A = this chain, B = another copy of it.
Amino acid sequence: MSQPAAFSTRPSDADLRGEAALRRRYRAPQSAHTGNWNEALEAILSHRSVRNYLARPLPEGTLELIVAAAQSAPTSSNLQAWSVIAVEDPARKARLAGLAAINRHIEQAPLLLVWLADLSRLRAIAEANGRAGEGLDYQESFLLAVIDAALAAQNAVVAIDALGLGSCYIGAMRNHPREVARELGLPPETVAVFGLTVGYPDLLAATDIKPRLPQAVVLHRERYQSAPHPDDLAAYNQTLRTFQQEQSIPVVDWTEMMSNRIGSTAALKGRDRLGDALKALGFKLK
């Protein structure tokens, strides 16, 4: 039986779900093509960081699936200049949590993945082929390895969400890179770029989806537009204030929060020494 004519201009289910996902992400008008909405897009758009985990262990083979997703990410020239260390030992997790000064959810999560920019493997391969591997001595190669690691990790994050699990990046793994390297037995020319906690989210402590800047602020057409429009920033400040109130977290303008986060060397919590640490870890950074 065909649809009654009155329903013929009704938006499709796909459109409705897509539009809802966009509304949750921006809390502001944002149109986009939602006609091919599907589970993958739903998983991506509805991502949130999980900082409260159940004690429940991961099903066997979950780590291997996450790593397969990570390895499916693009990698520059197929160099695959990254590695990942799966940390499950509670004592080691606790020590790494201490180094990151983020104790609770690193200790709670059954799995901590530490993602490495890894030039050591390529150095060993070059040397086994009678080459010094001098291309590795440049800022470019370090950057390439960082990007490879980030692309791999983000594929892992989407896969984790698609499995109904949750995750949270730990940038604070860069607060003490040398100590982290010692704890994980890293060879020269490898560094922990960030950590990622993984586990079953405690839905009783779930946070809402964090709204992002209006697209007009991050998306440019053809050439870089000038500084962000004050109205866009004011609107985002207001959107985030509503979010902060709902989540019962301190209410402060995003522009002020960001200014504090980048306003002083002290706010980097030791990461101002990252350049020195990278050299100590063997990166040449020419």
Contact = CB atoms under 8 A, between A and B. Distances in A.
Interface residues of A, number: 131
A106 to B, nearest CB: 15
Contacts of A155: 44, 154, 158
Interface string A34-77: 11101111011111010000000001111111011101111011
Nearest to A154: B154
Contacts of A263: 126, 129, 131-135
A182 to B, nearest CB: 10
A157 interface: yes
A109 interface: no
Contacts of A36: 163-164
Copy number of this protein in the oligomer? 2
A188 B187 CA distance: 35
Interface in A242-272: 254-265, 267-268, 271-272
Interface of A: 18, 22, 25-26, 30-36, 38-41, 43-47, 49, 59-65, 67-69, 71-74, 76-80, 82-89, 92, 116, 120-122, 124-126, 128-129, 131-136, 138-141, 143-144, 146-147, 150-151, 153-155, 157-159, 161-164, 168-169, 171, 174, 184-187, 190, 193-194, 210, 212-213, 215, 217-224, 227-228, 233, 254-265, 267-268, 271-272, 274-275, 278, 285-286
